Each structure stands twice: as C-alpha cells, then as structure tokens.
Amino acid sequence: MYRKILLTAVAVIMWLGAYAGEGMWLPLLIEKYNIDEMHAKGFKLSAEDIYSINKASMKDAVMIFGGGCTGELISDKGLLITNHHCGYPQIQSHSSVEHDYLTDGFWAMSADEELPNQGLKVTFLKRMEDVTIRVLNGVTDDMNMNERKAAISKNIAKIMEEAVEGTHYSGLVESFYYGNQYFLFVNEVFSDVRLVGAPPSSIGKFGGDSDNWTWPRHTGDFSLFRIYANKNNEPAEYSAENVPYRPAAHFPISLKGIEEGDFTMVFGYPGNTSEYAPSFHIEMLANFIYPKLVDIRTAKLNVMNRYMAADRGVRIQYASKNASIANAWKRWKGEIRGLAKMDVVSTKQAYEKRFDEWVNSSDDRKAKFGNIISDYENIYADYSQYRLVRDYLNEYIGGLGLETICISRRFERLLALYGDSNHDSETISTIKAMTEAQLQMHFKNLHLPLDKETATVVLEMLYQNIPSAFFPDITENINNKYKGNISKYIDEVYAKTFFISQQATLAFLNGFNSGSVKKLNSDPAYQLYKSLTDVYQQKVLPRYNELQNRLDSLNRIYMAALMQFDNERTFYPDANFTLRVAYGDVRGYEAGDAVRFLHFTTLEGIMQKENPDIYDYHVPERLKQLHAAKDYGRYELNGTIPVAFTATNHTTGGNSGSPILNARGELIGVNFDRAWEGVMSDLMFNPDQSRNISIDIRYALFIIDKYANAGYLLDEMTIVE
Ligand code: ARG
Ligand code: ASP
C-alpha cells in the first residue's frame, strides 16, 4: 500500500516534467518552443532549416506517402524512401506467379523499368498558418454543439478556398488541442509515383508478425519510389512524357554511423494520440474495450493461423489480411500491459484530483470548470457501452476474415443507383467494372472453410459480449429456426447463399438490374449483413455520435483549462496526421529485471534468428552468401552490418517511413515501429521504455548496392562519408 502511494507520487512528478523524447511538435513553432532545447541536445541547424517558406528547408523533402505513411526524398531526381510495409500494396499489386516481387523483391535497373501505381499519391506541405481567429470568428460560448460546428465549417471552407485560389495546391484546416487552435495547411499533391525498388519479404518483412512491435529487430523495412512531374516540375497524372521531379530539397545520407546518446530527430506524420485524455478514457480502453477486441481478434487469428499453417496457398491468400488483423491486436495487448505497468489510470486520477482542487479554489473557475471531471465520468459510463458495441460490430461487418457475409456491401452503390430512377448507364458500367475487379480479388484471396468458421466463431462471440438490446433482428429467426445454434445457422447461410460462388456472384453483377434487388434481399448472407448493419446505423451510431459530440466539447474546455492549471508546462498538440518534429537521442532500454537492450542490431542477429522451418525467419540465400563472404563494402561496422536501432523519439502510426536525422540533418535511418514495453505512448509516454525503431540507413544501402546490384541508384544520392 505504502509502496503503491509512493510509486504513484513519483509517477505524477515524472509525468508532469518535460523529458527526453516526449512530444510531437509543430514545425512552424520550433523556433518558439523547441530550438533552444534541441541545440542543447546537440542539434546543429536552425529552425529555419527545418521549416521555412522563404528558402528550401527539410519540409520540402518530407511527404505523406499514400494514405497513412511518411516518405522522404533522397535525391534531386525525385527518388524517395519509405517502409516496405508502406509500399506493400503497390509491391503486391505488381506481383503475380510469374513476377512474384513480394517473394523475390523488385529492382528497376533503369528509369523505364520503374512501375507506375494507379491511385498512389504523395503530399508535400508548402506552408502552414495559424488561422484560429478566422476559424472562430462569430463563434460564441452560448452556441450549442451543432451551431458551433456549422459556424466553424463555414469559416473553414472560406479559408481553404482563399488559400489555394489560382494555384494547383490543396488546402486543409485542422483542429489542434481539441478545437482550441486551428492551422491551415497548403499542400502540393503528386500522383505519378513509380516503384523503383523493394527487397524480398524475407528482408523487408523479416521477423514478420512474430517480431512486430518488438525489439531487438532485424527487419529491412524499406522500399524506393520515384516522383514524376510535368515539364514545369508540377504535379501531373501519369504520362510517359513526365520527368523525374526536381525537389527544392532532399536529405543527404550519412554513413558516419550512430552512437548511443546521439541527437536524433524524426520528421513525419504521426496519426493519432490522446495524451490528455481523462482517466476514464484510459480505463475504458485498457480495462473494457481493448481486452474484448483482443479476444475477438485472437479468435479470428486462431482460425486463420490454423488454415494458413496447413496450406501454402492459403498462407499467401491471407498474408496481408493476417498482417492487418495482427498488427492492432498485438499493439492493444502491448498497450494494456504498458498502461497497467505504468499505473496510468491512478496517475491520471491523482492529476485530476489536483486539477479539481485548483478549480474549486476559485469561484470563477468553479463556475467555468466545476463540472468537467464529473461530466466525464457520466458520459464515459454510457459512451463505453456504445463504443464497445460499435467496435464489436465493426469486427463483423468490417469483414476482416469473414468476407462472404460482407461481400454484399460491394453492391450497395449499385443498389443505391437503381433506387434512384434517373440513374445514368455510364456511372453504372464504371461501378460494375470496379466491383468486378474487387470481386475477382476477393475470390482470389478467399478460402471458404476458413471464412465460414470465422463467421461462426465471431458471431457466437458477438452474442456473448454485446447487450441484448443491440441484438440484430435476425436473432429471432436464429432462435426460432435453429434453436439458437449459431453453427447450424451459419451452415445453412453458406449452403444457400450464392455469394460463395464466384461464377454466380459475377453473373449476378453483370446482370444487375432493378429486379436484382429482390434476389439480394432474399439471400441469407445479405440478410445477416443487413441485419447487423441496421443495428449499427439505427441503434448504435446516433447515440454514439451524440455522446462523442459531448465529449468533443468537454475535451475542448478541459484542454483549455489544463493549460491554465499547468501553466509551466509546454503542451504539444495530440497527433492528427499533420507534419511534426520529434527529437530525442539514440538509446537502448531496460526491458525488465536483468534485461538491458542495446540500441542497435546487426546482420549477425539475422543469422541467429534464421530458421528454415519458420516462414518469418527465412533468410534469402544471397544474403547468407554476402554474410559468409563478409562482402560488406563501405557499410561494414566492426566486421558486420548494422541493421536497426532504437531512439527516444515520440512516434506513432503514420510515422512509418519517416526520416530519422542526425544533428546535421542527415538521414541515418527510416522509422518503422516501436518497442513492446513502450507502445502505450499514444496514451502516455514512458521516457524509460518508449522507443521508436528505425532501419539503419547503412543496411538499406547495403541491400541496394551489394544484395540487389542496383548501385546505380546510389549515384544520385548525396552520401556523406
Ligand atoms: N507495427 C508496425 C506498424 O504499426 C509495422 C507493421 C507492419 N508489419 C507487420 N508485421 N504487420 O505499422
Ligand atoms: N508501424 C507504425 C506505422 O506504420 C509506426 C508506429 O506505430 O510506431 O506507422
């Protein structure tokens, strides 16, 4: 008991201080808040070198890659590097049995071998600006949530329009500190981005899901692309006439290596954090939502892994689905563990108690903030239930691993079009073509026994875990006709639905007309899907959204109050997929009693992990030869090759592919993951154990140069030896 109180007190003090690594800072405000500390830690450049609108700066070399990753330029000819797992969809889309780039890797040996990628975009920030005053113009405290939202949206629309008028740029206004501050972002988006190189999965995904979220790590998680522009160096759709983009800046690459304690900076696009959430939020996630989501995904993975282990074909079919189910599943487990070990709920409760004391010591504050904590408590009591049901239903109707039930949603747009009497036939044929492509892909990657078993197991869990008020209408039928036996019911669904047959489904698509609606409505797989979606739309979302609105508004007031209460502290805004700077140093950590991790791994570790019986630990023959011959060239370090390293930079999902830079702004690595003991950093950063993981740039160059013999690519890079 005593010990616990003491620990909590220490934790509170720790949490309140500013310490190494924590924080994701706005590039525009580095000069104001961070540059002195960065210099003290060894950074040699200026804030203007990071972000400037007057001269070329680092920001001109960093981009959003695709929809959820970061990438960076490494040559003046538009060459960029990001993670293998970020380029995975593109690498996969070019792969076939004859050209299996996932298994064998891909290297363009000249410009005309580079592969275009439909739909892939990269986004550069041109400038950002604080537009809070304009966004909140006319917004008053007595407005209700909907009035407030409407006024803000109107102001934002105007700001965005003005910002990009007469340019080819796009504008975006994002909220910070829960609506207490707003920034405008003006972006330039390129859409001709070609695949240049990718190592085989046995390098780019070495360690697979076994090693995911852990350290020590040996994954060569990188891939190379090139941005093309028109003759004026402006964005253009793919064309053979396009030329390599000539950027204002690209990162030099350092071969000088790293030492523990060296300054590091990560410059990229972190997606989502909730560092200021109240204790109730943490309690909801750690004790209520995450454990149940972990269970449901464990059940899915158990079925999937069994079928995948038994059949090579199934393993290929489900590789990417498995990775996406397993990634969040494993992170949730790490977060639950980390939050408990750090005692985050008690720490936050103690903080909230002090906050309330501060509030109650002034009448003015009492009037303004007196109900915040109790309001949170009330809202979360209700919100948690709706959030659970929402997330649980999503595990079903989201379709991951049980696609036959959900494939009918591919017909929703056609359904809607036919419901609209003046539908035009051109739109319909475009949608049909798109749907056909999706269906082909669906059947290519479908193993029916796996799919059916998952549909059964997950439906059983759904009934055990959500309150009966949210049971779908179909329940009555299941109870009456099948005496509640889910397995019998699902057997019958799969026996009767035409969606199990590729031929029947494609025929249904191609002959789709107003009469098809009836056929769809009488299909048992569609009936189940529809029944669950109805609960979701009608019984869950309206109330969920209402509670979420109330939380949004409470969060805004709480955040503003915290900034007054804790006025010594510099608050960094939660991640929202805008460009941020994180800085810290190269550092290992203590993982537990007697376990101390070094900050770097080497090729020796790959050879130690090698296991021909475990897919995740296959090592390609050529890499073994290079290792045996010690053919390391200039990438060698103490008789081996450095592979990955950890540092104290605060990162999250979206930071994958981010440049990790040394004190001189040179590229030393590419960020790709975080270490197990510290993954709760989205909710609370632990300076002792929260670590980002990067591939050492020397390993990437070694693979390009020695493994792939694509050394010609190095000629266009700026390499600092
Ligand atoms: N955990 C990393 C991230 O969140 C890497 C995921 C890709 N790797 C994998 N084995 N699934 O994206
Ligand atoms: N692996 C993550 C990503 O893809 C990075 C992280 O969560 O640390 O963005």
Among 86, 652, 681, 691, say which to mutate for ligand 2: greatest number of ligand atoms within 8 Å of CB. 652
Ligand nearest to the CA of 221: 1
Q: Determine the residue type at 426.
A: E
Question: Residue 672 C-alpha to ligand 2 middle, in angstroms?
Answer: 6
d(CA 16, CA 276): 12
Question: Residue 416 C-alpha to ligand 2 middle, in angstroms?
Answer: 37
Ligand 2 atom nearest 331 alpha carbon: 7
The catalytic residues are 85, 221, 656
Q: Please state the rounded mean pLDDT for residues 529-558.
A: 96
In a 10 Å sphere around its CB, with 0-12 CB exposed, 13-18 middle and 19+ buried, how is residue 381 labelled? exposed
Q: Please state the rounded mean pLDDT for residues 700-712.
A: 97
Residues 657/670, Cβ–Cβ less than 8 Å: yes
pTM for the complete prediction?
A: 0.93
pLDDT value of position 10: 43
pLDDT value of position 426: 81
Among 650, 673, 674, 676, say which to mutate for ligand 2: greatest number of ligand atoms within 8 Å of CB. 673
Distances, alpha carbon 524 to alpha carbons 131, 406, 478, 494, 515, in Å: 52, 11, 12, 8, 17
Nearest residue (by CA) to ligand 1, atom 5, is 673
Q: Token match 């959003």: residue?
A: 64
Chain segment 23-34, per-residue pLDDT in tens: 999 999 999 999
Residues 192/234, Cβ–Cβ less than 8 Å: no
d(CA 102, CA 91): 6
Residues 197/704, Cβ–Cβ less than 8 Å: yes
Question: Residue 656 C-alpha to ligand 2 middle, in angstroms?
Answer: 5
Ligand 2 atom nearest 327 alpha carbon: 1
Among 672, 692, 693, say which to mutate for ligand 2: greatest number of ligand atoms within 8 Å of CB. 672
Nearest residue (by CA) to ligand 2, atom 7, is 653
Q: Please state the rounded mean pLDDT for residues 171-193.
A: 98
Question: Residue 673 C-alpha to ligand 1 middle, in angstroms?
Answer: 7
Pairing type for strands 122-130 and 62-65 reads antiparallel
DSSP for residue 55: S
Residues 489/452, Cβ–Cβ less than 8 Å: no
Ligand nearest to the CA of 70: 2
d(CA 302, CA 291): 16
d(CA 372, CA 364): 14
Mean pLDDT of the chain: 94
Give the pair of three-digit tokens for residue 472. 């779908």
DSSP letter for each residue of 473-537: THHHHHHHHHTT-HHHHHHHHHHH-GGG-HHHHHHHHHT--TTHHHHHHT-HHHHHHHHHHHIII
Query: Residue ranges of the domains in the chain?
Result: 2-121+191-268+581-715, 130-188, 279-562
pLDDT grade for 631, boundaries at 50, 70 and 90: very high
Ligand 2 atom nearest 651 alpha carbon: 8
Percent of the chain with pLDDT over 70: 97
Pairing type for strands 642-647 and 600-602 reads antiparallel
d(CA 340, CA 557): 28
Ligand 1 atom nearest 327 alpha carbon: 11
Nearest residue (by CA) to ligand 1, atom 11, is 323
Q: Is the CB of 665 under 6 A from ligand 2?
A: no
Ligand nearest to the CA of 207: 1
DSSP letter for each residue of 110-153: SGGG-EE-TT--EEEEEEEEE-HHHHTTT--TTS-HHHHHHHHH
Q: What spatial distance separates the first Cα and last Cα of the chain, rounded to whole Å?
A: 56
pLDDT grade for 20, boundaries at 50, 70 and 90: low
Give the pair of three-digit tokens for residue 64. 């959003």
CA angle 502, 405, 327 (to 5 degrees): 105
Architecture field, domain 2-121+191-268+581-715: Beta Barrel (2.40)
Ligand nearest to the CA of 327: 1
Q: Is the CB of 52 under 6 A from ligand 2?
A: no
Chain segment 103-135, per-residue pLDDT in tens: 999 999 999 999 999 889 999 999 999 999 999
Nearest residue (by CA) to ligand 2, atom 1, is 673
